[in-house]
Amino acid sequence: MTEIRYPAAHLWGQSEICSALGCSRRNIVYWREHLGFPKPIAQLAMGGVWDATIVRAWKHDREAPRKGKRAEVLATYREVSAVNPWGAIRETARRTNLSAPTVHLWLRELGEPKVRDRKESEARERIGLGRQATKGEA
């Protein structure tokens, strides 16, 4: 069996991955189960050990296609919400193969003013807030 030697700086445990990628341990578990996160090169009592270059490459590959996807999400949302504003987030998520919470977050980050889902609107009406007046109204 061939032995592969790694410099210590190129080995990461979960803590190092969390620090480098700005995530939690829970993210790593989710990524391993659902998003094809690389398998550890060794399993120790403290947990898995990964090759840092492989982890960085995986993260880069995951982010590269998503950078252009925000524009697609915004365009799809505007198209869908023009027809049916109540199911627009879910429909946008379905059409762009993203989760509804991700679509919602991205739209808010992009400053889309109309982002509201049905539950939020219904909750506002139940507590008596209803539609908020804008500056021009009042």
* Angstrom distance (rounded) from CA 79 to CA 75: 6
Which option is the CATH number for 8-65: 3.30.390.50, 1.10.1660.10, 3.40.462.10, 3.30.70.140?
1.10.1660.10
Query: SS3 of 135, please?
Result: coil
pLDDT one-digit tens code per residue, 67-116: 677 888 888 888 888 888 788 888 988 998 888 888 888 888 777 766 66
User: How high does pLDDT run on average in the chain?
Assistant: 78
pLDDT greater than 70 at residue 6: no
> What is the distance between the terminal CA atoms of the chain, rounded to a whole angstrom?
78
Distances (CA, A) of 135 to 9, 132, 138: 56, 10, 7
Domain boundaries, the chain: 8-65, 68-125
Q: What's the order of all strands across the beta sheet hosting 42-44?
A: 11-12, 47-51, 42-44
